[in-house]
Chains A and B, each alone.
Chain A
């Protein structure tokens, strides 16, 4: 099925930037993460591919700044989509390679014409000394 134009353009933009960016749609499908995100997430997107966010959440663990596990329903992306608001968090991520890294992440709900939620984008970066 054809994705909304806004998601297609967001993916195009992300593919051309050196800033780590992760994109999911409103149906809970991970659509893309760019090359800059791959060293942080521990595996190239080409190997992982599009997959449901709930599967992703079983393999990629998030922790808060103090190291407490964040359950799937309380993760920043689902919260941003549910509440239709951007948010910013300091997090720890344990990804495909098993290594835990400290991050800052800004999550943006992607709203189309008429305010319809199309998905979300996560812009993130690794903290110094992680």
Chain B
């Protein structure tokens, strides 16, 4: 939401529990999609399972 609302990149590490009820620690980096020729068009979040 930071990337969308404030139009700036952000990184956080947190725990999520998915549909399989397993808690996983994930790293997430999100950044606004500012196209060179089209302005703000959205955001991307990349995430991965982080070490405990």
Contacts and interface: CB of A to CB of B under 8 A. Distances in A.
Interface in A1-52: 15-19, 35
Contacts of B20: none
A76 B4 CA distance: 27
Contacts of B13: 88
Interface residues of A, number: 15
B27 A17 contact: no
B9 A19 contact: yes
Contact of B48 (A16, A19, A86, A125): A86
15 contacts: A15-B36, A18-B35, A19-B31, A19-B34, A85-B48, A86-B46, A88-B13, A88-B27, A88-B29, A104-B11, A106-B29, A123-B29, A123-B31, A123-B46, A125-B8
